[in-house]
Amino acid sequence: MKIKKGDTVKVIAGKDKDKTGKVVSVDVKNNRVVVEGVNMITKHEKPSMSNQQGGIVNKEAPIDASNVMLVVKGVPTRVGIKVEMVEKNGKTKAVRTRVAKAKELNGAVID
């Protein structure tokens, strides 16, 4: 998956379209991400040891990764992968880096 925990993303589809937020968690198996302040749901929780009071709780629900776009330097962009062969201690190793595909960013390395 091209989106990681801690990235800033913009929602491009759904009820929260055009909202931005930070990625809280990533589910690679189901291709879903949880974004801070986006796709809020109300959940009724029973009283438990961790939540003595119980009651109605607002929390973020997962959103499909295809409905979000990574934001780099304030510009929403698609993400590409660039593979470079790096030689270290006599061994050649393939290093994958994320690259921004937006025209304004000219293939800037994300991390």
31 is a domain residue: yes
Instruction: Please check whether residue 3 is in contact with residue 9, taking contact to mean a CB–CB distance below 8 angstroms.
Output: yes
CATH number of the CATH domain containing 21: 2.30.30.30
User: What is the count of structural domains for the chain?
Assistant: 1
Predicted pLDDT at 111: 76
**CA angle at 54 for the pair 50 and 57, rounded to the nearest 5°:** 100
pLDDT digits over 77-94, tens only?
A: 999 999 999 988 888 999
pLDDT digits over 4-40, tens only?
A: 999 999 999 999 999 999 999 999 999 999 999 999 9
57 is a domain residue: yes
110 is a domain residue: no
Domain that holds residue 63: 8-105
Quote the percentage of the chain above a pLDDT of 90. 76
Q: Helix, strand, coil % (nearest 5) of the chain?
A: 5, 55, 40
